[in-house]
Every structure is written in structure tokens, then in C-alpha cells.
Amino acid sequence: METKNISTGHSKESFIEKARRAQIMECAIETIAERGFAQASIGQIAKRAGISKGVVSYHFSSKEELMHHIVTALYVDGAAFMSRIAEETTPASMLRSYIETNLAFIGAHKQHVAAVMEIVWNARTEDGKLLYAKPANDAILVPLEAIIRWGQEEGSFRAFSEFGARVMAMTIRNAIDRAGSLLADPAFDIEAYTLEMATLFDLATRRQPD
């Protein structure tokens, strides 16, 4: 199976090409995570990589393209990581797995997640619109909503209006996403956080006793 690159004019990637792109992306991630999107100039990134600014432009046709690759790479990694969720057999365990798996992924990719959050909430088009962040009906909510509806139909979750399912999905997603920022604090206990989160949303979703 072949993966196509966003066209940079290079149909093939040599080893050096790949290494350089990886190096630049890594340094960009570190810079964005540490200093924020706005402060992550190409110059800063290049300096951290110990290369000249021109190299960055050589390997990525624009800053925007570099950012796009950083975002995409995280989504690709994430998708692979998340596959285990689908193995769960009940809505409640799947929801718990969703929370645990996502937080585990975030814990394992602190900087990359932090950088992508920065990009998603700050990268804009020339006319000022957010480039990545989308309104409430974001595709990222789809799997979550599916779990919730499954639980509802299957009876182990309480009754949700369509909008109620979406709000629940958004709230869960928000709680997960914001965990990314919290990880900057080295004292932050991600495992305890995961446990509390799982409990919270288990209670919030389960069918109530009569």
C-alpha cells in the first residue's frame, strides 16, 4: 500500500530526505510545545535543529505544510494506537477504554500532542479563519457519539437526546484534550486522572436506577 505525500515536487523520498524531514518535524514539535505556536518561527526551529532556515524551506514548501505534517503524523499515530478500543464488548467498557487509551496516548506523546493543540487552535488562513479547528460537529466526535448511542440503544446507558449525546461526546473530548496542557506539570498524576475521569463519565452515562 502506498501513501502519497502532499505534493512537494518530490515523488520519492531518499533516506536523507526522510531523516531531515523527521528531524525538522521533531524540532518544530519541541519548539511549538515549549514556546507556543506564535513564537515558533522557522528561524527558531532551524536553530534548534542546527541547520539553516533555508533547509526548512527546502524540505517543506511552506510553514503551513510543515504544520500540516505535524498534525497529520499525530493523527496517524493516534489512529493506530486507538485500535484496541474497538475490541471492547460493552459500551461502558468501550467508553472506559476510549478514555484510558486516549489519555495513555497523550501521556506517551506529551510534546507532540501539546504542539498539535497549539497548531489546531492557532493556525489560521490569511483571512483569519482557524485552519484546523472545526465547529462542534467535528469528525473527532463521531466514534464517541457512536459508543454513546450504542450504549443507549443497548440499554446500559441512560436515555440521551441526539444533542445530549453530542454534548456528552464534546465534554469527554474536552476533558481528554485539556489533559494535554496539564501534563506540562511534572507533578501531574496521569493515572489517577484517568481513573477519576473514567469514573466520572461512567456515572454520567450509565442508566439510572428507577
Partner DNA sequence: AATGAATGAGTATTCATTCAT
Partner DNA sequence: TATGAATGAATACTCATTCAT
> Least CB distance from residue 78 to a second copy, whole Å?
20
> Least CB distance from residue 87 to a second copy, whole Å?
26
> Least CB distance from residue 107 to DNA, whole Å?
29
The rounded distance, in Å, linking the Cα atoms of 144 and 150 is 10
> Least CB distance from residue 160 to a second copy, whole Å?
9
Task: Map the footprint of DNA across residues 52-81, applying CB under 7 A.
Answer: 52-59, 61-64
* 8 A C-beta contact, residue 17 and residue 26: no
Question: Which residues, 6 or more positions from 149, have their beta carbon under 8 angstroms from its beta carbon?
Answer: 160, 165
Listed in sequence order, the DSSP H helices in 109-189 are: 110-122, 142-154, 162-182
Give the residues lining the site for a second copy (CB under 8 A). Answer: 1-6, 8, 19-20, 23, 26-27, 34-39, 47-51, 121-122, 124, 128, 130, 133, 135-136, 158, 161, 163-164, 167-168, 170-171, 174-175, 178, 181-182, 184-185, 188-189, 192-193, 196-197, 199-201, 203-204, 208-209
- The CA–CA distances, whole Å, from 34 to 44, 64, 108 equal 11, 19, 17
Residue with cell 524540532: 27
- Nearer to a second copy among residue 5 and residue 86 (C-beta): 5
Listed in sequence order, the DSSP H helices in 8-90 are: 15-35, 42-49, 53-59, 63-81
> Least CB distance from residue 42 to DNA, whole Å?
3
- Nearer to a second copy among residue 80 and residue 184 (C-beta): 184
Select the residue interacting with DNA from 3, 4, 14, 185 (CB under 7 A): 14
Residue 142 interacts with which of a second copy, DNA, none, CB < 5 to 8 Å by class: none
Select the residue interacting with DNA from 22, 36, 43, 124 (CB under 7 A): 43
The rounded distance, in Å, linking the Cα atoms of 33 and 184 is 9
Where residue 82 falls (left for φ over 0; alpha for ψ -120 to 50; beta otherwise) is alpha
Interface contacts to DNA, rule CB under 7 A: 6, 8, 10, 12-14, 16-17, 20, 39-44, 51-59, 61-64
